Chains A and B, each alone.
Chain A
Amino acid sequence: MGKELKLMKGNEAFAEAAIRAGVDGYFGYPITPQSEVMEYLTAEKPHERTGMIVLQAESEVASINMLYGGAACGKKVMTSSSSPGISLMQEGISYMAGAELPCVLLNVVRGGPGLGTIQPSQADYFQSTKGGGHGDYHTIVLAPSSVQEMYDYVELGYELAFKYRTPVMVQSDGAIGQMMEKVQTGDQKIRLTEEEIIRNCPWATTGKTPNRERNIITSLNLDSLVQEKHNIKLQKKYREIEAVEVRFEKIQCDDAEFLFVAYGTSARICLKSIQILRAKGIKVGLFRPITLYPFPKEPLYKMVKNVKGILSVEMSAGQMIEDIKLAVECKVPVYHFGRMGGIIPSPTEVADFLEHQFIKG
């Protein structure tokens, strides 16, 4: 299937991208506001389009462990969920990070804690970027702020996941998951053959043949020295990811005296807030992290000398602000503005906060 221009929901774009990226298996469990991913996949009959398997699991716990099994065989596997479901998956994500297995996960974030709300939120920043489960690990976290990026980050996600043998999280939110925008799709990729998988993933459990040793996928090392060595290896990988894979976008930053730092839906709101403030002569720009992990520390630090202050805008009580403060070493004032409980802040209230609380406050 060739390139197409389509009007799609963010969740649908993600699902279509999965089919076109040649994903082998999707394993999911319904939860608002991301259920359209599996609904779209089942309606599209990907088993006929590409041979992709789609299975509705009995729980998020089962889904992530299906990914754990599928990824061990070198297959491209995927799941999607929303905050409470991702919390349930964290043990499995930790296992996959420990066993160094690639996969792409979508978190369409909703308000918490607990059952919280089904409305958009960004309160899973800590959960996604700081490991989330047990042990020393990270997942690469990509934050789309448009439906097009929901589509694009599927393929980017797999590229990174297989390059580093690590789970990759696409961290969206209820607004981007549900909104409709135009999407430019890519071409249909063909799923890898068994021979290609064996060549690309010599570590995978594809069946022991006489010409190689057994492949064992495990995160267990009862010998502490071996486990420490494994941890050092993982940390080396994370340092490499931090050095090479940082992604961000700068908008109207050249002359900016103040900076918004925001991702996803918040970043879109800040674009309008910038217009409001610039109309009043306040020079504001937007620094948008695309990789929440690795956080773009260096690029942000380089901008500190030119700005008077930074406002972190997040649909949370203030989580990313910790990384911003660490990145800029508190050389300029860093404030947080956010709404919680599933409320999307208006551009005016963001602009007002910067103007009245931050600059004049």
Chain B
Amino acid sequence: MADTITKAEIINPENLVYKKTSMMTNNVLSYCPGCGHGTAHRIIMEVIDEMGLQAKTIGVAPVGCSVLAYDFMNIDMQQAAHGRAPALATAIKRLHPEKTVFTYQGDGDLAAIGTAETIHAANRGENFTIFFINNGIYGMTGGQMAPTTLEGMKSSTTPYGREWQRMGHPLKMTELIAQLPGTYYVTRQAVHTPVSVRKAKKAVRTAIELQQQNKGLTFVEIVSNCNSGWKMTPVQANQWMVDNMFPFYPLGDIKVDGELVKK
């Protein structure tokens, strides 16, 4: 019997093991082929789905590539001005303490123009979750230098590579945030392999669960690729990320249960 099972018999709802969550809309993602944003969106929405939080969740989309996140996440959402998502989320959560509130921000949004809002929301210990997508570049505007651009890394405004003497150092925003007493859980993840996606999803779930316990700000960085901005194929970009981004932005938990993780 085993050898004779047909394809049609296998493709049957009772045998389903993975399907895109209904918390993602059916709109075609506006991201470039291979971009990690899509995976990051999906794992967040899978957690919202698994925890049954659709009716209780309010998301805040940033300015940047994910400005249209509300087209893809099947929840109530608001689009913020550049860098201001943590200010919006502060008010939303304070006025709706029973809701699950998150911001989804890129490195330009969170670590450059929105540094003040990010740090102060974290320092106040606001009970929402920040998802920080760090690809070391401004993707949407065409690949300019971001605060997180690595030293020596080329971008359209560092065409010969970033020199710290003239352009400053790459900013480790997540380590900085972890120092603040208002943050409870701070972690850095990636979504380039099935293993990393599963780990990142676990981190997303932890963050949302801790938010529900009013523990303070929870912060999940996802180091991601920008193959268009980096001028590489998606597969090359993921390898470049492993070789260059991860040594500077090492993956793993930075703060757990309100305590810095000793390395």
Q: Which A residues contact B (CB, under 8 angstroms)?
A: 24-25, 27, 53, 55, 57-59, 61-63, 65-70, 72-73, 75, 77, 91-92, 95, 99, 205-210, 214-220, 222
In angstroms, Cα B88 to Cα A95, docked, is 12
CA distance A53 to B116 in the complex (A): 21
CB-CB under 8 A from B57, the residues of chain A are: 207-208
How many residue-residue contacts, CB under 8 A, span A and B? Answer: 124
B116 touches A70 (CB 8 A): no
State A98–B60 Cα separation when bound (angstroms): 17
- Contact of B77 with A216 in the complex, beta carbons under 8 Å: yes
Cβ A73 vs Cβ B117 within 8 A: no
Given A65-B84, A92-B81, A220-B67, A208–B76 Cβ distance below 8 Å?
A: yes
Given contacts A68-B84, A73-B96, is CB(A62)–CB(B78) below 8 Å? no
Q: Which residues of A contact B99 (CB under 8 A)?
A: 207
Contacts of B87 in A (CB 8 A): 57, 61-63, 65-66, 68-69
The reply to whether B88 and A69 contact each other, CB–CB distance below 8 Å, is: yes
The interface residues of chain A lying within 8 Å CB-to-CB of B84 are 61-62, 65, 68, 92
B56 within 8 A of partner (CB): yes
List, in ascending order, chain B residues with CB within 8 A of A217's CB: 77-79
0/1 interface trace, chain B 180-202, chain A, CB 8 Å (1 if under): 00000000000000000000000
Q: How far is the CB of A151 from chain B (nearest CB, A)?
A: 24
Residue of B nearest to A96 (CB): B81
CB neighbours (8 Å) of B89 from chain A are 69
Contact yes or no, B117 A58, CB < 8 A: yes
Q: Which residues from B are CB-within-8-Å of A59?
A: 116
Does chain A have a CB within 8 A of B58? yes
A207 to B68: give the CA distance in the assembly, Å: 18
Q: How far is the CB of B56 from chain A (nearest CB, A)?
A: 5
Contact A77 B91 (CB under 8 A): yes
Contact (Cβ within 8 A) A72 B55: no
The yes or no answer to B92 lying at the interface (CB within 8 A) is yes
Q: How far is the CA of A189 from the CA of B54 in the complex (A)?
A: 32
Kindly list 10 other residue pairs between chains A and B, CB separation below 8 angstroms, not including A59-B116, A67-B91. A58-B117, A62-B90, A69-B92, A70-B91, A72-B78, A72-B88, A205-B77, A205-B78, A214-B75, A216-B79
- For this complex, 23 residue pairs linking A to B, each with C-beta atoms less than 8 Å apart, are A25-B91, A55-B94, A59-B116, A63-B87, A65-B117, A66-B88, A66-B91, A67-B91, A68-B84, A68-B87, A69-B87, A69-B92, A70-B95, A73-B96, A75-B91, A205-B58, A205-B77, A205-B92, A208-B57, A215-B76, A216-B76, A217-B79, A220-B68
Interface-central residue, A65, A69, A207, A215, by most chain B CB under 10 Å = A69
Bitwise, B108-132 to A at CB < 8 A (1) or not (0) is: 0000000011001000000000000
Residues of chain B lying within 8 A (CB to CB) of residue A206:
58, 76, 96
- In the bound assembly, the distance between CA atoms of A218 and B69 in angstroms comes to 11
Q: Does B80 contact A (CB under 8 A)?
A: yes
User: Which residues 226-253 in B have Cβ within 8 Å of A in the complex?
Assistant: none
Please tell me if B70 contacts chain A, counting CB pairs below 8 Å: yes
Flag whether B74 is at the interface (Cβ < 8 A): yes
Query: How close is A26's CB to chain B, nearest CB, in angstroms?
Result: 10
A68–B68 Cα distance when bound, in Å, is: 18
CB-CB nearest in chain A for B75 = A208
A52 to chain B, nearest CB (A): 10
Closest approach, in angstroms, between the C-beta of B182 and any C-beta of chain A?
13
Given A214-B75, A218-B70, A95–B81 Cβ distance below 8 Å? Answer: yes
Contact B116 A69 (CB under 8 A): no
User: Do A75 and B95 have beta carbons less than 8 Å apart?
Assistant: yes
